[in-house]
Amino acid sequence: MQNVKRLFWILFLLNLFNYIDRQVLYSVFPLLQTDLHLNDFQLGTLASVFMLVYMCYAPLVGFFADRTERHKWVGASALIWSAATLACAGAKNYASLLFTRGFIGIGEAGFTTIAQPFLAENYPKEKRAGILAIFGLALPAGSALGYVLGGFIGLHWGWRAAFLLAGVPGIVLGLLSFTHLKDLRRQMQKEADKPGPKDYTALLKNKPFLCICLAHAMITFIIGGLSAWMPTYLHRYLALDVASAGTVFGALVVVCGAAGTFAGGKIADRLLNVTPKAYFWVMGLSLAALLPPAWIGVQTQRPTLALACFAVAIVCLFLPTGPVAAALVSATRSKVHSMAFAVNIFIIHALGDALSPLLVGKASDGWGLKIAVLLCCLAAVPGIVFTWMAARLERRFPEEKTLP
């Protein structure tokens, strides 16, 4: 039988480099701006084109992944996004960089659509939020490494070298996925068990699932906007150079994001013994709690206080990571898990980080980056409303036996 630990670590490392390759762009924004003569709107569009391709490709992957062996999709997707990252290093102008960023979206959508349900099916319900939270630690860790390594390498050897070094590990891990992972559930799946049109129609009529997706979209809107612009914010308002801004924000993300992600999963798993609405309590309270420190951090003139407030806001922003994924698994049937996560990806990026980097850049051009960051954080308000609606409408499907 499949070694669950091996499955976890290959998927975790792929997820780590998924975020390194995605975020390294943001740490070299100032270098790209100087070298390619770009304005803030064009920089934001580099982030948004990735998300547009990512969200549109996800449902296509989800459809086939529900019918075929998912480890093959995982391996192929890793090879695609890694090759595209390497191609970014050879970009000659804004148009070519825009094109290669789009291809990174194809590869990463193929992986993210599949990885979480693939992993969750191998763990029982009472451990699911915790293991998905640990898997989700790759987001803050990979993002931080992307900022730190991108800023450091970019400062010393240029932005092209940053893309070159980021793209290599995913090639190796993609090949390992083909040889060391097996999708046991798909291998055992009978033709009659494969999802049909009615299963997908039911998914789109699943109101709790859709509300979870909308709440997740608001979280993603904030994460996307801050991920793209906070290194530049620190560079402009706290007078840090490119490398220092990337390092400081990377440290905040990896420490505070990891703490929030891990704590959110553990709290949700324990709270599940008290209330079946545990996932929603963690999501809603986290969104409410991030607003005060975010506002103080932008308003204060004291750099130390600003960084402390941003740290608290990041913890709150990452607390829902595991609970959101576990709620999506609980709200949908196993046979459509890949498509459920694909639909979630489409919604969260269409309404989230496909828009926020671009909109924050546009707001920054008009009113300044401080106002733009505050407006981005206010997406927490509709997020709280959607979380409440999901909790009110929630229905759970019977638990299916996990794989040994």
Give pLDDT, residue 1.
43
Give the Cα separation of 68 and 183 in Å (integer): 9
Q: What is each CA distance from 24 to 27, 108, 250, 300, 347, in whole angstroms? A: 6, 14, 11, 28, 24
Neighbouring C-beta atoms of residue 324, cutoff 10 Å: 30
Percent of the chain with pLDDT over 70: 93
190: confidence class by pLDDT, cuts 50, 70, 90: low
- The mean pLDDT of 4-32, rounded to a whole number, is 86
**Looking at the predicted structure, is the pLDDT value of residue 186 above 70?**
no
pTM exceeds 0.85 for this model: no
Per-residue pLDDT tens digits for 200-229: 787 888 899 999 999 999 999 998 888 878
Give the Cα separation of 111 and 198 in Å (integer): 25
Per-residue pLDDT tens digits for 157-183: 888 898 888 888 889 998 988 887 776
Residue corresponding to tokens 């106002």: 371
Q: Are 215 and 387 in contact (CB under 8 A)?
A: yes
193: confidence class by pLDDT, cuts 50, 70, 90: low
Per-residue pLDDT tens digits for 24-73: 888 788 888 888 888 778 887 887 788 788 888 888 888 777 777 777 88
What is the CATH architecture of 4-393? Up-down Bundle (1.20)
Give pLDDT, residue 402.
47
Give pLDDT, residue 194.
66
**Looking at the predicted structure, is the pLDDT value of residue 285 above 90?**
yes
Residue of 301, 313, 327 whose CA lies nearest to 389: 327
For the ranges 241-255, 312-326, 375-389, the lowest mean pLDDT is seen at: 241-255
Work out whether the CA dihedral 82, 161, 92, 37 comes out positive or negative.
positive
Per-residue pLDDT tens digits for 250-259: 788 778 988 9
Taking all residues of the chain, what is their mean pLDDT, rounded to a whole number?
A: 84
**DSSP string for 79-130:** HHHHHHHHHHTT--SHHHHHHHHHHHHHHHHHHHHHHHHHHHTTS-HHHHHH
List the structure tokens of 28. Answer: 């070299």
